[in-house]
Structure 1
């Protein structure tokens, strides 16, 4: 039997989460893993260990094919299309279009020539209450990796 497609895995996980009335924050509390990381697992952008996959399977009543798929090495960054059409995701694209080069310059002024790791990396999302409208606070924390000279 062929492994389920990523679209099938994602839709199955989302449906199971909804059926159990759970949020990603609930899954974070139950699994001891960050909610953003868990969401990335749902979208095929992370790999679960056997133990993590089994815990999630138990929580969400997943079948063995989905549980096994969670343990496969993903093709990261495989979201389509290249320019996102979902308005929320597009905002991040727009932010990088507007602030990408300024961020690059400021980071390189502070650290030198290199990049911020997306492997040795954490991402947190917080809700900041504001009387003028609640705000989204996103914190990215990645290890700086200087370019090597040889």
Structure 2
């Protein structure tokens, strides 16, 4: 089974069982961000959480095997039209250079790892309208001189 078919099976089971990503992640024993990303084909999942996730969703073992397979990560270079994803592009477009400059001042010349990385997405109630709180936590990787 390929990653796209795996994702289709997971999304169908998720809808049929009326489970949230938080509930699925809890049953698998991983974070909601990681579980969602793996189910959408962007990360591989270790065997034990993959098996737990599949048991919770009632999907066959081939889905677990596909979850465990290494992904082929790609994305289109064009600006997306989905409003949520577009706004993230907009944030990087407006604040990306600012983030780069501030990271450089605080850490030196390097990057934030997307491998040694975690992210949380929280809802913060606010009387003027609920807030989305995205926290990204990545290891700093300095560029090497060779």
Tell me the TM-score normalised to structure 1 length: 0.91
Moved over 6 A (4+): none
- SS at 1:70's partner residue? helix
The equivalent of 1:55 in structure 2 is 52
Match of 2:34 in 1: 37
Note the C-alpha offset of 1:110: 0.6
Match 1:143 to one of 114, 139, 143: 139
Indicate the larger mover: 117-126 or 59-68. Answer: 59-68
1:15 aligned to 7, 12, 16, which one?
12
Q: Is the 8 A contact 2:114 2:138 kept in 1?
A: yes
Cα drift, residue 28 of structure 1: 2.3
Deviation for aligned residue 1:27: 1.6
| 12-21 vs 116-125, which moves further | 12-21
One of 97, 115, 129 as aligned partner of 2:111:
115
Report how far residue 40 of structure 1 moved: 0.3
TM-aligned CA distance change 1:81 to 1:144, over 3 Å: closer
Q: How many residues align?
A: 146
**Which structure 1 segments of 5+ residues have no match?**
none
CA distance in 2, matches of 1:22, 1:130: 26
Shift of the alpha carbon at 1:96?
Answer: 0.7
Deviation readout 1:51-106 (Å, 9 max, x if unpaired): 22211111111123222111110012x23463212110111111111111111001
CA distance, structure 1, for counterparts of residue 29 and residue 134 of structure 2: 20
Q: 2:95 aligns with which of 78, 81, 99?
A: 99
The residue that corresponds to 2:128 in the other structure is 132
Q: Structure 1 residues 80 and 61 mapped into 2: Cα distance closer, same or farther (>3 Å)?
A: farther
TM-score when normalising by structure 2:
0.94
RMSD after superposition: 1.3
